Chain A
Amino acid sequence: ETGVTQSPTHLIKTRGQQVTLRCSSQSGHNTVSWYQQALGQGPQFIFQYYREEENGRGNFPPRFSGLQFPNYSSELNVNALELDDSALYLCASSTGTSPSEQYFGPGTRLTVT
């Protein structure tokens, strides 16, 4: 086990709603990266947080936002949910701003109906 935890495990939301996903990083890690993995595809980078600041962002609209807390845990918030937001959301824990290895949590499976 990586020591990275995510909650909730599964979630069902309705289009237009808002959702918050949570991630606790591995002990000693100060960086959290979030990924979206649609069915049958590889994970897509959403953004990264390092020491409570956003440190890089992928091609996702502003309705995807996040936070990192002093204990380095993190939240991913998605507003105005769309059907295409249905995916597995993975967080990955690491150290530093240019990690060579990231440790993934088990993911949150979000279904938007």
Chain B
Amino acid sequence: RKEVEQDPGPFNVPEGATVAFNCTYSNSASQSFFWYRQDCRKEPKLLMSVYSSGNEDGRFTAQLNRASQYISLLIRDSKLSDSATYLCVVKAAGNKLTFGGGTRVLVKP
């Protein structure tokens, strides 16, 4: 079983719609959680950290469910520019970031 698993997609989303997807992690000792965004053939960039109480950044909402060991990302009012691969990232104690395989989102007019 992979340490961090994501649905690879693609999620085809009409412009203006809402899309949500999850990521599951296997290490119950994981301490920190993030969503990174990666555009085609570019480097990953931090989208947002995920806090235990859930957090929102504009149109993006992240949730953490420690009991079921998953995190989620919801994008409201999708824009064409939201088309990207969204990488779920988990950090246990120490220095290693563990990435999921990514969920591809395609926003279409």
Contact = CB atoms under 8 A, between A and B. Distances in A.
B43 A105 contact: yes
Nearest to B6: A42
Interface stretch (B12-20, B52-60, B68-76, B90-98): B90-98
Interface in A34-48: 35, 40-45, 48
B27 interface: no
A70 interface: no
A7 interface: no
A104 B44 contact: yes
Interface of B: 4, 6, 8, 32, 34, 42-46, 49, 87, 91, 93-102
Nearest to B43: A104
Contacts of B87: 42-43
Contacts of B96: 45, 48, 56, 58
B95 A56 contact: yes
A106 interface: yes
A42 B91 contact: no
Interface of A: 2, 31, 33, 35, 40-45, 48, 50, 55-56, 58, 90, 92, 97-102, 104-107
A104 to B, nearest CB: 4
A33 B97 contact: yes
Given A42-B87, A98-B94, A90 B43 contact: yes
B35 to A, nearest CB: 12
B4 to A, nearest CB: 8
7 contacts: A35-B99, A42-B99, A43-B44, A43-B99, A56-B96, A98-B93, A106-B42
A102 B43 contact: no
Residue with the highest number of chain B CB atoms closer than 10 Å, among A33, A92, A102, A106: A102
A98 B99 contact: no
B34 to A, nearest CB: 8
A42 B44 CA distance: 10
Contacts of B32: 100
B102 A99 contact: no
Contact of A55 (B42, B91, B95, B98): B95
